[in-house]
Structure 1
Amino acid sequence: MDLTAVHTFVTAVDAGQFQEAATNLSITPQAVSKRIAALEKDLGVQLFSRTARGARLTIDGQALLPHARALLQAEERAAASVRPGSRPLRVDVIGRQLSLAGLLRDFHRAHPDVDLDVVTLFDSDAAIAAIRSGTIDATFRAVTMPGRQLPDDIEATPVFDEPLHLFTGPAHEFAAAREVTPARLAGRRIWMPGNASGTEWAAYYDELAAAFGLTIDSIGPDFGIEPLLDTIANSSTLATFVSEQTPLVWPAAHDLRRIPLHDPTPVYPHSLLWHTDNPHPALTALRTHLTSTYPGRPDGKTWTPKWAQHSDRRAGPATTTP
């Protein structure tokens, strides 16, 4: 159906006369008549009955009118969904329950006028492809993975270095510790069933395991966070890693422990990635908000993989104390 003809039809109904509709559309009355006639021919019905006093909707015209209005509203929504400045800012986070979603919530509180569309893509390959295709505007990722570099049309800047905690049940050997050094985890088993091979987070934890002699065990299906917490709570040997600001809730009977890691503190390096040619005005606001609130790396000695120490293409390498 020709949406221009549909728009002309609705305008003629609202105006009450073809002459006034022509004025509103900045076309001639003859052009209005031709568009209406073409629409009637396309539908095989008469929409107006013409009289000396003007045009009046027929029963078919009355039946079409609400659908015609809905078509025009759908057209406007479709255009707004991709119109810079009017469509929501589409941002990818690894998981809605992770700290990155909290960063976006903080941004939304500071900029309530900005519409956000939060999506979750699986890994950095999918996220970068979505940025390049325009499916999303930005993503939070750890960059770069070993042996890889970002495409030239993708920019990145660090926004958050998140300290890791050891997460154990009450019977674990470190359950009563106030803090633990990564070196004391040598030979211990860290269970992370969500550590999918080939992802940027698997690359991070593999490097961490190699640096401190611990074992990352990803065997077993990933049933989500609740079954993971249940298993950790009932084990004297299994532990896992969680980020400092990851929001977690568990039954009081689990008596789970979050134990800070220090000397050095492993930090997970979150960066914001976006396309160099992205014109969305809210993207600039998001970058400005994140970089202005970025606290920098935690005080004291920290650890992050060497391949993640050059994540800001524009500002130069980040500093890390090994």
Structure 2
Amino acid sequence: MRAELDLRLLRAFVAVAEELHFTRAANRLYVAQQALSRDIRRLETQVGARLFVRSTRQVTLTPDGERLLVHARSLLELNDAALQDLSGEARPLLVDVIGEGLTAARIVDEARMAAPQLELTVRYGGGMGAALTQLLAGRVEVAFGRTEGLGAPFPAELTRRLVRWEPLALLMSDDHPLADLAEVPMAELDGVEIDASSGNDVAPEWVDLAASLLADHGARPSPPHPHVVGTAETARHLRSHGLPILTMSECPEVPGAVVRPLVDPVPVYPWAVVHHRDANHPGLAALDAVMVDLAAEERWTALPEDAWVPAADAQWVRRP
């Protein structure tokens, strides 16, 4: 039966081969010189060949030692690369941010600037409903969005944390009657038809929140329609239908449209960050650092005094 090479012994061998000095190699490896000499003898026994010629003045590689050095370096590099890949230090972190120009996309952008050595790759799933499926299947590793209103309990193998209570707003054509207001009181929506993305099956959590908000304030959700993606399509949709669209206060600019915050009360969207409990990619730490800073600078987790919060979201934030 063939012997198997011991990677620890190979690492000791490479150190001696590169230093050509046992004392320096031992210092490099933080081991005693006697232990290092013993490891080299053990490796020589394992491979059945003498690897070094030692004298009182110098250490040199034998021809067998020179041949082994090539293989030893390759094996150690392969070992280190495999461990690095599995630990997440080299591979990209896949993050679902729902869409461009939203809070989650800003978090990723700032994390990229703060940690340019990491690769953070975004996905635009359109909603937590779609993102959660991808997360559980291992096709993304981090997702942002609302975690209630999905039609099923939050998965036990995942963890979630509140990132931001984001005030909601209306996106409307700049010639809409409500566009003349700097802020739109919720009472102004009584009897008004609002586009709340009904029928959007990739974001059931958004449809659920919107339906509850509008019902509480006498507004009517528009009939279901195909999900609209992108600023150009949103502008076309506004021109075609003319209805105000419920949206985030932080959203992409749309040509010919204005955003007006909703007030009295201030409805909020609960952004959460979601990932597997055992996730350990260094990109998570970069995202966390940005979220902590933004929460402190912009008071993301402080609720407005007159906030409207869905009951299910208030409950999980108190007891996640």
* TM-score (normalizing by structure 2): 0.67
Residue of structure 2 aligned with 1:135, choices 139, 144, 150: 139
Which one-letter code corresponds to 1:247 in the other structure? Answer: P
Q: Deviations over 1:228-286 (max 9, x none)?
A: 32343576x62112211112141xxx3x3322211111111110011111122331332
AA aligned to 2:149 is M
Q: Which amino acid aligns with 1:230?
A: R
Which residue, out of 49, 56, 68, partners 1:22? 68
Matched residue, 1:228: 234
- Aligned residue type for 2:156: D
1 CA distance for matches of 2:199 and 2:109?
26
Identity of matched residues, %: 24
Shifted more, 291-300 versus 272-281: the winner is 291-300
Segments of 5+ residues of structure 2 without an aligned counterpart are 1-62
Q: Which moved more, 1:177-186 or 1:290-299?
A: 290-299
- Which structure has greater helix proportion? 2
Distance 1:196 1:249, change over 3 A: closer
Aligned AA (2:213)? L
Q: 1:303 aligns with which of 287, 297, 308?
A: 308
Q: Is the 8 A contact 1:179 1:260 kept in 2?
A: yes
Asked if the contact 2:164–2:272 (Cα under 8 Å) also holds between the matched residues in 1, the reply is: yes
For the 8 Å contact 1:168–1:233, the answer to whether it is kept is no
CA distance in 2, matches of 1:114, 1:203: 36
Structure 1 residue 155, shift from structure 2 partner:
0.9
| Secondary structure of the structure 2 residue equivalent to 1:174 | helix
Equivalent residue number for residue 118 of structure 1:
122
Cross-structure match for 2:212: 207
- The alpha carbon displacement at 1:82 in A equals 4.5
Q: Which amino acid in structure 2 is aligned with residue 268 of structure 1? A: Y
CA shift for structure 1 position 77? 8.6
Kept in 1: contact 2:198–2:222 (CA 8 A): no
One-letter amino acid matched to 2:173 = G
- Aligned-residue Cα RMSD (Å) equals 3.2
CA offset digits 1:8-32 (Å, max 9, x no partner): xxxxxxxxx98733332249xxxxx
* Structure 1 residues 173 and 74: alpha-carbon distance in aligned structure 2, compared to 1, 3 A threshold: farther
Over 3 Å counting, the alpha-carbon distance change for 1:298 and 1:78 in structure 2 is same
| Amino acid paired to 1:282 | G
In structure 2, relative to structure 1, the CA distance for the partners of 1:131 and 1:216 (3 Å cut) is same
State the match for 1:217 in structure 2. 222
| Offset at residue 84 of structure 1 (A) | 2.1
Q: How does 1:27-46 map to 2 (within 5 A)?
A: none
With the length of structure 1 as denominator, give the TM-score of the two structures: 0.67
Rounded to whole Å, the distance in 2 between the matches of 1:300 and 1:26 is 65
In structure 2, give the amino acid aligned to 1:153. E
Partner SS for 1:309: helix
Residues in 1 aligned to 2:207 and 2:115: alpha-carbon distance in whole angstroms = 33
Deviation at 1:94, TM superposition (A): 0.9
Corresponding letter in the other structure for 1:244 = S
1:139 CA displacement = 0.6
Structure 1 residues 283-298: aligned runs within 5 Å: 283-294=284-295, 295=299, 296-298=301-303
1:204, distance to aligned residue in structure 2 (A): 1.2
Equivalent residue runs for 1:238-277 within 5 Å: 238-250=243-255, 254=256, 256-277=257-278
Q: 1:288 to 1:234 in 2, by over 3 A?
A: same
Shift of 1:140: 0.2
Q: Which AA in structure 2 matches 1:232? A: L
Give the distance between the partners of 1:91 and 1:144, measured in 2 at CA. Answer: 19
1:160 to 156, 160, 164: 164
Distance in 2 between residues matched to 1:275 and 1:143, nearest whole Å:
14
2: CA distance between counterparts of 1:222 and 1:75? 47
Within 2, Cα distance between the matches of 1:102 and 1:193? 23
Matched residues in 1 for 2:124 and 2:99: separation? 6
Inter-partner Cα distance in structure 2 for 1:218 and 1:106: 37
CA contact (8 A) 1:157 1:311 kept: no
CA distance in 1, matches of 2:129, 2:258: 34
User: 4+ runs of 1 displaced by more than 6 Å?
Assistant: 73-80
Contact 2:101-2:250 at 8 Å conserved across structures: no
**Partner residue, 1:95:** 99
Q: Residue deviations 1:268-306, cap 9 Å, x none?
A: 111001111112233133224313422223533111211
Structure 1: gaps (5+ residues): 1-16, 28-72
Opposite residue 111 of structure 1, the aligned amino acid is A
| Aligned residue number for residue 282 of structure 2 | 281
8 Å CA contact 1:266, 1:303 repeated in 2: yes
